[in-house]
């Protein structure tokens, strides 16, 4: 059993469609508890539809003085979800990332098994992260009439592009149970850029065993107008807040210069 933490923006518009496809992909995972952090429009309905565990009462940006932000405060959300997790690996993934069958597996049934092997191998002391796969077929996705068929289209698209994958931002993170519980929590905002500078570097503070996840769990992110306007996103109040907060703890970080660790398969082969 592993625990997947996620957060959704309001389920509407372009972002809403991607998040619905992502939620459907989460529901296909075996031996997995899915926790939805926050209470934006549509989150409750998604939880009811798929049987996810809802953690609605978490702080948002407005609660900590960021007047234009309704995004959840990750530190507060993680603190609250800790109360409901007492075992198992913990995975965090953005709510607009669709989990697809990986390079190693023809389906997603072996993800939990792989995480358990990692946990056993590292004796419950490891962390990791992975990059999402970026695709640019969003206009075609919008023409599909059902969420299930949208997911099938996404899987097919990934299969066709596997050999030419475009891996971009870090959007998935993993901790052993013990590492997650000793993590120092920051009040970064999910709707601001650069929170990944915190989550991407935290593993190196928590454990000597850092793993690259992308051979075990693969995700697809569709580029769409709301996500690709860099100038607009960089100017957002929550982004400016995140940058200032993170620089206090980790001066001069650049997520794009983060050295990619070895995959679990590579670690086993080397050792």
How much is the pLDDT for 2?
93
Please tell me whether residue 255 adopts helix, strand or coil conformation: helix
pTM over 0.75: yes
Report the candidate in 21, 54, 47 with the shortest Cα–Cα distance to residue 149.
21
> What burial class does residue 225 get, using C-beta atoms within 10 Å of its C-beta: 0-12 exposed, 13-18 middle, 19+ buried?
exposed
How much is the pLDDT for 27?
94
How much is the pLDDT for 20?
94
How much is the pLDDT for 40?
87
Report the candidate in 159, 151, 177, 21 with the shortest Cα–Cα distance to residue 84.
177
Please tell me whether residue 239 adopts helix, strand or coil conformation: helix
Round to whole Å and give the CA distance between 265 and 271. 10
pLDDT in tens, the chain (271 residues): 899 999 998 888 777 888 999 999 999 998 899 999 999 888 999 999 999 999 999 999 999 999 888 899 999 999 999 999 999 999 999 999 999 876 566 666 678 888 888 999 999 999 999 988 888 777 888 888 799 999 999 888 888 876 667 777 788 999 999 999 988 888 999 888 888 878 888 888 889 999 998 878 889 888 766 655 666 767 789 989 988 888 888 777 666 677 888 988 888 875 5
How much is the pLDDT for 226?
60
Report the candidate in 40, 53, 34, 39 with the shortest Cα–Cα distance to residue 13.
40
Q: What share of the chain is helix, strand, coil (3-state, %, to 5)?
A: 45, 20, 35
* Block residue for tokens 């959840």: 72
Domains and CATH numbers, the chain: 2-270 (3.90.550)
How much is the pLDDT for 56?
95
Rounded to 10 degrees, the C-alpha dihedral 104/107/109/113 comes to: 0
């Amino acid at each position: 059993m592993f625990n997947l933490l996620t957060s959704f923006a309001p389920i509407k518009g372009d972002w809403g469609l991607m998040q619905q496809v992502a939620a459907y992909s989460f529901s296909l995972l075996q031996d997995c508890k899915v926790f939805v952090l926050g209470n934006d429009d549509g989150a409750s309905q998604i939880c009811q539809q798929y049987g996810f565990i809802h953690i609605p009462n978490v702080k948002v940006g407005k609660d900590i003085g960021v007047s234009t932000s309704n995004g959840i405060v990750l530190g507060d959300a993680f603190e609250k979800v800790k109360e409901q997790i007492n075992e198992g690996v913990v995975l965090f993934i953005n709510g607009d990332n669709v989990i697809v069958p990986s390079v190693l597996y023809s389906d997603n049934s072996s993800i939990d098994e792989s995480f358990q092997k990692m946990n056993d191998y590292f004796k419950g002391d490891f962390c990791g992260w992975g990059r999402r796969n970026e695709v640019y077929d969003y206009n075609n996705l919008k023409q599909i009439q059902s969420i299930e068929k949208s997911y099938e289209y996404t899987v097919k698209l990934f299969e066709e592009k596997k050999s030419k994958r475009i891996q971009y931002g870090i959007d998935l993170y993993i901790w052993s149970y013990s590492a997650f519980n000793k993590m120092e929590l920051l009040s970064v905002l999910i709707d601001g850029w650069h929170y990944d500078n915190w989550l991407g570097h935290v593993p190196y503070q928590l454990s000597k065993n850092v793993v690259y996840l992308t051979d075990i769990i693969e995700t697809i992110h569709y580029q769409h107008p709301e996500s690709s306007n860099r100038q607009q996103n960089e100017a957002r109040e929550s982004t400016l807040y995140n940058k200032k907060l993170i620089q206090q703890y980790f001066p001069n970080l650049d997520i794009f210069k983060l050295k990619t660790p070895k995959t679990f398969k590579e670690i086993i082969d080397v050792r």
